[in-house]
Structure 1
């Protein structure tokens, strides 16, 4: 019986920590998704890469897609928007040909590509919102541009004349396909799919840094001390056990319960304590907290002074670090942990 009770305590502890870290991880993920959507980061990543691949780096400011993550933070969200202007007109039946070198503008190729894919677009603040081009659709768009200027050799000659970085990869694909159009189309699709995977890797690096920053913000905003929370969970479990023991022991143990409640009425004391789970008590330490009284409307409280005392107290820093590291594992990890603890089976 004793071993079962001890096991139950640790299961409750693991369950409470998993639920808490899952909720906070979901909050971090939600903030990250809101940040990405608000600034159209996915779409900017795609079109920055396409500009570098089709038209080349800008002569004044360099590549559109920065290689370093810190440069991405500095450039893409705020300083430069690589997306083409949105157009609600359908693509013309006859594709435009690659312009001559003397007529070429700095964004000629990107505009030609957008012209072929804009049927799937809807505007966002005057810019395209396309954030994904399937490799098969990109290959079809390339073939449409090829047919507009003759054959593949003519198309490659035009790309070389305008010094487009797309010339090298397509030239290699054309030679590998042994000048077979079907194999060339499939090769373009395969090449673009690989480039999208490389772009996804850079995007994931960017998102990892964003999540890391947001994890710090959420941890400090809620001043969530993971060690203190674990201790509170164990204390609550012990308190519930003592209440049960008092109920079974009879009047002799009633005096001890009254002493623990510091002179308050034990029934009211027990009710108030058990109605405030450990998670609710911890969230009351946030910079702004919400209280829902038994009667009346909910109220919002500013806890600036108490919050600052917690954040600046070194004793809480190990617990903050534990919470931060836990959030870096992400919501999927904690959902899997919670599912294993509770025995919830994933749908197949």
Structure 2
């Protein structure tokens, strides 16, 4: 019986966290798309890489190149005038565009070296001269070296973007936990006492649809009275919200994988008897952990 209860609690908790993670991920992707966050992050990363924070030098020339920014007319005088910002740039296209922006005589490798030495920024000049010297006179190898430099810089940009996205996920999960009173402490206590509440839960939801939300609200979450009383029980409720928000640190794939494994384990044994309908209705909604 104890093992069955543990599995049912694990199913209920994992299903809740997986559904919340899926919902938050969907909202976050919508915000990122609407606000063009990836495009802005890429632009900031290139400005940092080329030491062009004012967008007046190499970064502006790159964003005027058709290979880097094909949806812009190349006539933008500043960052705000850009008609489009790419969310992704092929490293080889970046390398070709950078060479085109630097060189004064196309195809002349010797002159390219002089053009690099004439660059005003010492850090960019030093980086490109190192790649130029290692290329040994081969323009293709030089472009591959520049592409590798771009890849390394974008890995750092990607890491920073992921860290910011993780923080946004935690904040969105906390907001959702407060709005729908997804109190992990109360959820655990109720499922431990009434494990049959999760008997009808299905597999991990593939999308945020009405059926997934219906199954989520079959769990003991939600508000029974609002606003809550500011007492000791409310402090426990806040702690439950914080625990729910912290589950965003693991990411949706982790909770989906956990739910699938627990569902497989549960499938090897008998489910607990389903609670009477009246009993389910009484414990369905949270009352702040009381």
Query: What do you get for the CA RMSD once the two structures are aligned?
Result: 3.4
Q: Is the 8 A contact 1:226 1:319 kept in 2?
A: yes
For residue 46 of structure 2, the aligned residue among 50, 61, 64 is 50
Give secondary structure in 2 for the equivalent of 1:166: helix
For residue 177 of structure 2, the aligned residue among 219, 228, 253 is 219
Measure, in 2, the Cα distance between the counterparts of 1:215 and 1:153.
56
Measure, in 1, the Cα distance between the counterparts of 2:63 and 2:113.
15
Give 1:163's aligned residue.
Answer: 120
Residues 146/21 of structure 1: CA separation in 2 closer, same or farther (3 Å cut)? same
Measure, in 1, the Cα distance between the counterparts of 2:136 and 2:181.
63
Measure, in 1, the Cα distance between the counterparts of 2:264 and 2:197.
27
Q: Is the 8 A contact 1:215 1:328 kept in 2?
A: no
Give 1:210's aligned residue.
Answer: 168
2:145 is equivalent to residue 187 of structure 1:
yes
Report which stretch shifted further, 196-205 or 230-239.
230-239
For residues 285-324 of structure 1, give each alpha carbon's deviation from its aligned partner in whole angstroms, at most 9, with x where no partner exists: 2xxxxxxxxxxxxxxxxx7x61444898113233223212
2:238 is equivalent to residue 317 of structure 1:
yes
Residues 281/198 of structure 1: CA separation in 2 closer, same or farther (3 Å cut)? closer
Q: Which has the larger radius of gyration?
A: 1
Give 1:280's aligned residue.
Answer: 218
Displacement of 1:35 after TM fit?
2.1
2:226 is equivalent to residue 306 of structure 1:
yes
Higher relative contact order by CA 8 Å / sep ≥ 6: 1 or 2?
2
TM-score, scaled to structure 2 = 0.70
Measure, in 1, the Cα distance between the counterparts of 2:94 and 2:197.
64
For residue 86 of structure 2, the aligned residue among 130, 135, 152 is 130
Measure, in 2, the Cα distance between the counterparts of 1:278 and 1:194.
42
Q: Is the 8 A contact 2:132 2:142 kept in 1?
A: yes
Unaligned runs of 5+ in 2: 74-80, 200-213, 266-290
Give 1:337's aligned residue.
Answer: 258
Give 1:110's aligned residue.
Answer: 60
Displacement of 1:277 after TM fit?
7.4
Residues 53/160 of structure 1: CA separation in 2 closer, same or farther (3 Å cut)? farther
Measure, in 1, the Cα distance between the counterparts of 2:38 and 2:198.
49
Displacement of 1:235 after TM fit?
3.0
Unaligned runs of 5+ in 1: 59-81, 83-105, 242-275, 286-302
Displacement of 1:147 after TM fit?
6.1
